Amino acid sequence: MQRILRTALVLGLLTGLSLSLAQVTLTYWQYDFGTRIDAMNQLIEQFNAENPDVIVVQETFPYDAYEQRVAAATAAGQGPDVVQLFYGWVGSWQRAGYIEPLPQEHIDHAWIEEYFIPMVESVKVGGEYFGLPTAVRSLALFYNKDLFRAAGLDPDAPPQTWDEFVEAAKALTVQRGPLFTQIGYGPGGQDHHLIRTVLMNQLGTPPYSADNREVLYGNEIGAEALRTWTDWQLVDEIGVLEFIPGSGGYRDGFINQENIAMIVDGSFAIGQVRNNAQFDWGVTELPTFDNGVQSNFGSFWMNAVTPRAYRDPAVLEASARFITFVTSEEAMQLWLEVVGELPAARSLVGDPELVSDPVNGPFIAGLAYAEATQFVDEAAQRQVMIDAYNRVLLEGMDPAESIMLEAQADQALLDDFDD
């Protein structure tokens, strides 16, 4: 009897072992953000149930330490097989070898271009796609309807043009002596994109050439875009940077302090606003200049494979299967519900329910004319923009001069990257 038991035990262990040998374990990394982790956990659970030969394990890290962890882990041959990254990091990450192209034998380029909205092409580098998004984001204007009413403005007629925007913001700004107690517009979060992608495109110049080798804004149009934005603070006095300190200060002021009446923010902020704002608020499409040209900045986080996924064909296949799963229409629906970010599939962005939604609608509308500006080095290219407006705001430099300095610095970054 004992012998039988022992044999059974050994057999059981052996089969368990062989099962686990046949199973592929994938490690998935993203940064810490409550709803994103939650959504991904739900997706992983579904995926694991449908794919018994694969086990996906999610690991997350604080945003500030994220790139550091990826660098250290991938260099040591450890870390994720599938990793989430901001689309703007593709340049520096693929150069450093943190990510590899998506395997074409498992993920067909023709399918990508047919299934996803065109914005996704911004992560096609050297003929290879480096990742695919579950969700995309665009910008819109959030405004506090209660503050609109208090200022005698019509809460159902948000500004359509930048002139109307400035007029409304003036009415919404409250000063005490030389200081503000409430501001009409809270700059900070997405303003480098607002200036470089939105305002410049609206004024008629794309910031970069189509091949992304040349900076095109070192001219009067670029200066005009920068001047428009800096005048809001220097001339119109409708807002100020760092009104509320911290990385999400502008949003905090809008949501919690209720002393910022309007912010330009991404669709990723919807969840936070919806869950925390204790007042009547609305969202509207980004205003335009008098020429009526619309523009928007689109962006996304994407799922990519690391060199570690390439260590074994089975792992690579499983990674591709997982990426296909988390970018399926069902996954996008779930992501929209849980995180609040917009779906990345062509088939879903035209969904009438979504388009007519008072909150999602303006973002979806913006998506139609949004562009995901291609960066070779997002961190450095963001810094040159921040420095450009700070030279005007803090040192009194003329926007025309500052934009030329920025264009040169930006061009140097593009040139450096080609080397």
The footprint of other proteins (CB under 8 A) covers: 67-68, 71, 74-75, 89, 92-93, 95-98, 176-181, 188, 240-247, 249, 307, 377, 379-380, 386-387, 390-391, 394-395
- Residue 211's CB is within 10 A of a number of other CB atoms, namely 7
Which of residues 41 and 68 has its CB atom nearest to other proteins in the complex?
A: 68
Which of residues 244 and 320 has its CB atom nearest to other proteins in the complex?
A: 244
CB of 371 to other proteins, least distance (A): 23
Decide if 310 contacts 316 (C-beta within 8 A): yes
Q: How far is CA 281 from the centre of its chain?
A: 22
CB of 91 to other proteins, least distance (A): 9
* CB neighbour class for 404 (10 Å; exposed up to 12, middle 13-18, buried from 19): middle
Which of residues 180 and 254 has its CB atom nearest to other proteins in the complex?
A: 180
CB of 69 to other proteins, least distance (A): 9
Tell me the Cα Rg of the chain.
24
**Rounded CA separation 93/303 (Å):** 13
CB of 282 to other proteins, least distance (A): 25
CB of 116 to other proteins, least distance (A): 25
Closest by Cα among 283, 299, 288, 267 to 373: 299
**Rounded CA separation 260/254 (Å):** 5
Which of residues 320 and 392 has its CB atom nearest to other proteins in the complex?
A: 392
SS3 assignment, position 81: coil
What DSSP letter does each residue of 378-392 carry, written as one string?
HHHHHHHHHHHHHHH
Decide if 208 contacts 285 (C-beta within 8 A): no
For residue 9, which amino acid is it? L
75 contact partners, CB below 8 Å, separation of at least 6: none
**Crossing angle between the packed helical segments 313-326 and 34-50, to the nearest 10 degrees:** 120
**Rounded CA separation 263/414 (Å):** 31
Which of residues 270 and 385 has its CB atom nearest to other proteins in the complex?
A: 385
**Rounded CA separation 200/222 (Å):** 6
CB of 166 to other proteins, least distance (A): 20
CB of 231 to other proteins, least distance (A): 18
CB of 80 to other proteins, least distance (A): 12
- φ and ψ at 119, to 5 degrees? -50, -30
CB of 92 to other proteins, least distance (A): 4
**Rounded CA separation 329/351 (Å):** 12
**Rounded CA separation 51/54 (Å):** 6
- φ and ψ at 258, to 5 degrees? 55, 35
Which of residues 9 and 412 has its CB atom nearest to other proteins in the complex?
A: 412
Which of residues 47 and 98 has its CB atom nearest to other proteins in the complex?
A: 98
Which of residues 156 and 395 has its CB atom nearest to other proteins in the complex?
A: 395
DSSP state of 177: T
Which of residues 203 and 264 has its CB atom nearest to other proteins in the complex?
A: 264
Which of residues 37 and 386 has its CB atom nearest to other proteins in the complex?
A: 386
CB of 389 to other proteins, least distance (A): 10
